[in-house]
C-alpha cells in the first residue's frame, strides 16, 4: 500500500552512519553496478548473441568499464552463473510457492497447473535456450543449471509427498504413492511440453498436465 512504501532518502540530508544502515554507500553503488552488468548479460544472452557474449561487450552495453566488469565477475562464466541465479525468482520461486501454499493435494495441483499453463515470456525462453547452450560447453554452467533444475523438479516431488501424507502412504515404505517417481514423471512431462511448444506445436498444456496429474494420483489408490 502507498502508506507503507519506502521513500528514498533526500540526497540533501546527511547520510546515515554505516552502523545504522548496515550497508556502506560504496557497497550499495557496487550492487547497482553489478545489477547493471547482469541486466546487460541477460540482454546479450536473450538476444541469441552467444558469439558476442564477452565481458567486454557486457561492460560496453551496461556503460561500465571493462576493468570494473572484471572487478565484479572474473570471466564470462561468472556472468552466466549470475544470470542463472538472477532468473530463479521468475521460474522456480513461483512453482515453490504454488506447491508450499496451504491446501490439500488437489488444490495445490490446480495451482501448479494454472501456473505452468501460462505462456513463458520470450526473454525467459531465450535465456533458457542460451543457458543450455553454455551448459554444453562449460562444466561450471552445467553444474549450476543442473542444480537449478534439480530444485525445480523437487517441487513436483514435494507435491506428491502431500498426496502421500494425505493417504498415509509412502512408496519408500511399501505404500502406493512414490513421491519421487511420480514427481519426476510429471517434471519430465512438463519439460517435454515446453520443448514441443518451443518448436511451435499447438499443445494446450493445461488440460494435458491436469489429466496427467489426476491420472497418476488416481492410479496410486489401492
Could you report the per-residue pLDDT of 206-215, keeping only the tens digit for each?
A: 899 999 999 9
Q: What is the pLDDT of residue 158?
A: 97
Q: Of the given ranges (6-15, 70-79, 90-99), which has the lowest mean pLDDT?
A: 6-15
Q: What is the pLDDT of residue 49?
A: 65
Which has the higher per-residue pLDDT, 51 or 146? 146
Give which of 133, 119, 113, 135 is closest to 189, Cα–Cα.
113
Q: Is the pLDDT of residue 137 over 80?
A: yes
Q: What is the mean pLDDT of residues 150-159?
A: 97
Q: What is the pLDDT of residue 21?
A: 42
| Cell numbers at 167, concatenated | 493417504
Of the chain, the end-to-end C-alpha distance in Å amounts to: 50
| Cell numbers at 163, concatenated | 498426496
Q: Of the given ranges (53-62, 152-161, 164-173), which has the lowest mean pLDDT?
A: 164-173
Q: What is the pLDDT of residue 3?
A: 37
* Arithmetic mean of pLDDT over the chain: 85
Tell the burial category of 93 from Cβ atoms under 10 Å away from its Cβ (0-12, 13-18, 19+).
exposed
Triad 204, 206, 208: Cα angle to 5°: 75
Q: Give the confidence band of 87 by pLDDT, cuts at 50, 70, 90.
A: very high
Q: What is the pLDDT of residue 1?
A: 35
Q: Give the confidence band of 52 by pLDDT, cuts at 50, 70, 90.
A: confident
Q: What is the pLDDT of residue 48?
A: 76
Give dist(CA 161, CA 153) in Å, integer.
13
Helix locations, 47-178, DSSP H? 55-62, 66-72, 76-86, 88-91, 93-100, 105-117, 122-137, 139-167
Measured in residues, the chain has a length of: 222
Q: What is the mean pLDDT of residues 101-114?
A: 97
Q: What is the mean pLDDT of residues 69-80?
A: 96
Give dist(CA 49, CA 57) in Å, integer.
11
Amino acid at each position: 500500500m502507498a502508506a507503507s512504501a519506502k521513500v528514498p532518502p533526500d540526497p540533501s540530508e546527511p547520510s546515515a552512519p554505516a552502523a545504522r544502515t548496515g550497508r556502506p554507500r560504496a557497497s550499495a553503488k557496487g550492487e547497482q553496478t553489478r545489477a547493471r552488468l547482469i541486466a546487460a548479460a541477460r540482454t546479450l544472452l536473450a538476444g541469441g548473441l552467444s558469439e558476442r557474449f564477452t565481458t567486454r561487450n557486457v561492460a560496453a552495453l551496461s556503460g561500465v568499464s571493462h576493468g570494473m566488469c572484471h572487478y565484479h565477475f572474473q570471466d564470462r562464466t561468472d556472468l552466466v552463473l549470475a544470470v542463472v541465479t538472477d532468473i530463479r525468482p521468475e521460474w522456480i520461486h513461483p512453482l515453490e510457492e504454488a506447491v508450499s501454499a496451504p491446501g490439500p493435494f488437489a488444490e495445490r495441483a490446480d495451482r501448479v497447473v494454472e501456473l505452468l499453463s501460462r505462456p513463458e515470456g520470450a526473454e525467459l525462453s531465450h535465456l533458457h535456450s542460451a543457458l543450455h547452450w553454455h551448459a554444453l560447453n562449460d562444466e561450471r554452467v552445467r553444474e549450476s543449471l543442473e542444480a537449478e533444475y534439480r530444485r525445480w523438479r523437487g517441487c513436483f516431488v514435494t507435491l506428491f509427498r502431500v498426496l502421500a501424507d494425505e493417504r498415509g502412504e509412502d512408496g519408500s515404505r511399501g505404500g502406493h504413492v512414490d513421491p519421487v517417481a511420480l514427481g519426476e514423471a510429471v517434471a519430465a512431462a512438463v519439460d517435454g511440453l515446453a520443448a514441443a511448444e518451443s518448436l511451435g506445436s499447438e499443445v494446450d498444456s493445461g488440460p494435458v498436465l491436469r489429466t496427467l496429474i489426476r491420472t497418476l494420483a488416481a492410479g496410486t489408490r489401492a
